[in-house]
């Protein structure tokens, strides 16, 4: 009898275990994992905290981050390489504003008009929605509202009774005065050969009334205003000696921010994260950082380059509906508010800037929003990555003394003319630009190579 009872209990236990295992396997089969590209650098861990919160709140969708380089150029190449291969696990791309045209033309991302409709778009910062609109379609949802402004040491200007400079000439004068009275340099810049150099040059170019192209698309980068702007950058380093030596090697925003946070420089052009990063406990400039527009030059106006990051659905994703649910959650008011209150990135929903709790904790936002009056965009081009790489190379050649400003921009102009005349939207083309002892390849779709000596 006892043996019989034990057998029955054993059978019941097995049935329970099998049912449990089957249920667990069923649960796993019902879970969709969304792979989402994101920066490796996560100030204060706010993105990771948001990911964990999403996963806790959702049973059938889970998010895994694919960490990408903090260098925008490298991140572009990593993302493009994965999408081009057709073997990527990515479902959601973290899209820089300058990649929209290229990624849309390549067919790598899904148009979102049916999901991200006009009513939804109206709730976001207009400039950021414009930045992800190309060829009449909207391709992504903005999540990080960014602008490349000038951060400065408010306490030092107050100490010496100095006004915030409105021209670069004034900024150099103030920087030299502070250098004589404090143990620090005037500017910490991102002038290494990277996308950040493209950002900085765009500001100097517009500040002096220059442009890459005119309204008809003709190349104008070698006109006098552009040459003067580049020459002033060179003079800041050589003649006026107000730029840190490391500036020519700084490639990511954090490279240039660190000297500023360590009380080593007075001025520092950078993105919106700078204020909250400088408020951290290990910062030597806590409560001493403030924001203004980058200065103007004699032929132009104050200029702050528009940045921003956006979430786009990969065209080849097998989980587009689930990916959309993830994007909606990460770009919701509640999520963006939580991130900014945790000293994370500045969000893109308009209502954020009217929220009393956010404004009280982020006093810089009022001045930061004023800087959008002087916003300027980098050139919109289906082959932007090639254009940017070429620009970075020639500007860096001039800053390091390898070429004069005039020769650098003349050679860049020739490259851009070639890009305009030989690259069409359907071509698979690889353009090579001579880089000293070796050729660096600029590519979006690799098939043939036209070498430019």
Look at residue 435 in the predicted model and tell me its pLDDT.
Answer: 32
Query: Per mean pLDDT, which range of 84-93, 223-232, 420-429, 439-448 is the poorest?
Result: 439-448
Q: To the nearest whole number, what is the mean pLDDT of the chain?
A: 88
Minimal CA–CA distance to 164: which of 292, 300, 305?
292
Three-state DSSP class for 198? helix
**pLDDT exceeds cutoff 50 at 247:** yes
Read off the pLDDT band of 441 (50, 70, 90): very low
Locus of tokens 């005349």? 421
Read off the pLDDT band of 281 (50, 70, 90): confident
Query: Per mean pLDDT, which range of 266-270, 374-378, 396-400 is the poorest?
Result: 374-378
> Which position has the higher pLDDT, 12 or 126?
126
Sign of CA dihedral 369, 190, 245, 374: negative
- φ, ψ of residue 399 in degrees (nearest 5): -65, -30
Largest separation between any pair of C-alpha atoms in the chain: 104
What confidence tens digit (pLDDT) does each residue in 132-177 have? Answer: 999 999 999 999 999 999 999 999 999 999 999 999 999 999 999 9
Three-state DSSP class for 42? coil
Look at residue 8 in the predicted model and tell me its pLDDT.
Answer: 58
**pLDDT exceeds cutoff 90 at 293:** yes
Look at residue 425 in the predicted model and tell me its pLDDT.
Answer: 39
> How many Cβ atoms sit within 10 Å of the Cβ of residue 404?
15
Look at residue 44 in the predicted model and tell me its pLDDT.
Answer: 80
Share of the chain above pLDDT 70, in %: 87
| Tokens matching residue 446 | 């690799």
> Which position has the higher pLDDT, 166 or 43?
166
| Tokens matching residue 423 | 């690259």
> Which position has the higher pLDDT, 84 or 430?
84
Minimal CA–CA distance to 247: which of 206, 197, 198, 199?
197
> Which position has the higher pLDDT, 209 or 72?
209
Look at residue 42 in the predicted model and tell me its pLDDT.
Answer: 86
**What is the average per-residue pLDDT within 386-402?**
97
Three-state DSSP class for 86? coil
Three-state DSSP class for 256? helix
Look at residue 27 in the predicted model and tell me its pLDDT.
Answer: 54
What does DSSP assign to residue 215?
A: T
> How many Cβ atoms sit within 10 Å of the Cβ of residue 357?
10
Read off the pLDDT band of 312 (50, 70, 90): very high
**What is the average per-residue pLDDT within 387-406?**
97
**pLDDT exceeds cutoff 50 at 449:** no
Q: Bridge partners of 289?
A: 153
- φ, ψ of residue 305 in degrees (nearest 5): -70, 135
Read off the pLDDT band of 24 (50, 70, 90): very low
Query: Per mean pLDDT, which range of 88-97, 141-150, 422-431 is the poorest?
Result: 422-431
CB contact burial 101-122 (16+ within 10 A = b; e otherwise): bbbbbbebbbbbeebbeeeebe
Read off the pLDDT band of 450 (50, 70, 90): very low
Read off the pLDDT band of 445 (50, 70, 90): very low
Read off the pLDDT band of 14 (50, 70, 90): low
């Amino acid at each position: 009898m006892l043996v019989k009872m034990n057998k029955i209990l054993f059978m019941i236990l097995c049935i329970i275990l099998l049912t449990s295992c089957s249920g667990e396997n069923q649960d796993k089969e019902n879970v969709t994992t969304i792979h989402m590209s994101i920066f490796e650098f996560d100030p204060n861990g706010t993105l990771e905290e948001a990911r964990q919160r999403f996963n806790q709140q959702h049973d059938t969708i889970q998010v895994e981050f694919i960490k990408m380089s903090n260098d925008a150029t490298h991140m572009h190449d990593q993302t493009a390489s994965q999408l081009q291969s057709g073997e990527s696990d990515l479902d959601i791309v973290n899209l820089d504003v300058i990649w929209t045209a290229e990624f849309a033309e390549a067919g790598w991302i899904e148009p979102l008009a049916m999901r991200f409709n006009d009513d939804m778009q109206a709730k976001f910062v207009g400039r950021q929605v414009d930045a992800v609109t190309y060829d009449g379609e909207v391709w992504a949802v903005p999540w990080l509202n960014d602008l490349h402004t000038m951060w400065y040491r408010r306490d030092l200007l107050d100490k010496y009774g100095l006004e915030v400079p409105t021209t670069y000439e004034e900024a150099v004068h103030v920087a030299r005065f502070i250098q004589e009275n404090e143990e620090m340099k005037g500017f910490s810049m991102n002038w290494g050969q990277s996308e950040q150099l493209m950002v900085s040059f765009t500001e100097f170019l517009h500040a002096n009334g220059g442009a890459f192209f005119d309204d008809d698309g003709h190349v104008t980068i070698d006109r006098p205003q552009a040459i003067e702007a580049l020459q002033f950058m060179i003079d800041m380093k050589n003649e006026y000696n107000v730029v840190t030596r490391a500036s020519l090697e700084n490639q990511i925003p954090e490279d240039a921010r660190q000297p500023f946070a360590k009380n080593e420089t007075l001025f520092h052009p950078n993105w919106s994260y700078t204020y909250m990063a400088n408020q951290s406990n290990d910062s030597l400039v806590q409560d001493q950082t403030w924001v203004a527009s980058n200065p103007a030059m004699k032929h132009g106006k104050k200029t702050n380059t528009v940045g921003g990051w956006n979430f786009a659905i990969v065209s080849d994703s097998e989980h587009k509906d689930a990916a959309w649910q993830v994007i909606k959650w990460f770009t919701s008011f509640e999520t963006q508010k939580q991130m900014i209150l945790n000293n994370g990135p500045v969000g893109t929903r308009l209502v954020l800037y009217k929220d009393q709790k956010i404004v009280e904790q982020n006093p810089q936002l009022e001045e930061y929003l004023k800087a959008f009056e002087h916003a300027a965009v980098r050139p919109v081009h289906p082959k932007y990555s090639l254009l940017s790489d070429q620009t970075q190379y020639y500007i860096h050649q001039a800053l390091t003394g390898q070429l004069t400003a005039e020769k650098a921009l003349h050679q860049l102009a020739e490259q851009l003319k070639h890009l305009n005349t030989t690259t069409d939207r359907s071509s698979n083309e690889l353009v090579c630009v001579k880089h000293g002892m070796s050729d660096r390849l600029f590519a979006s779709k690799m098939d043939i190579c036209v070498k430019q000596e």
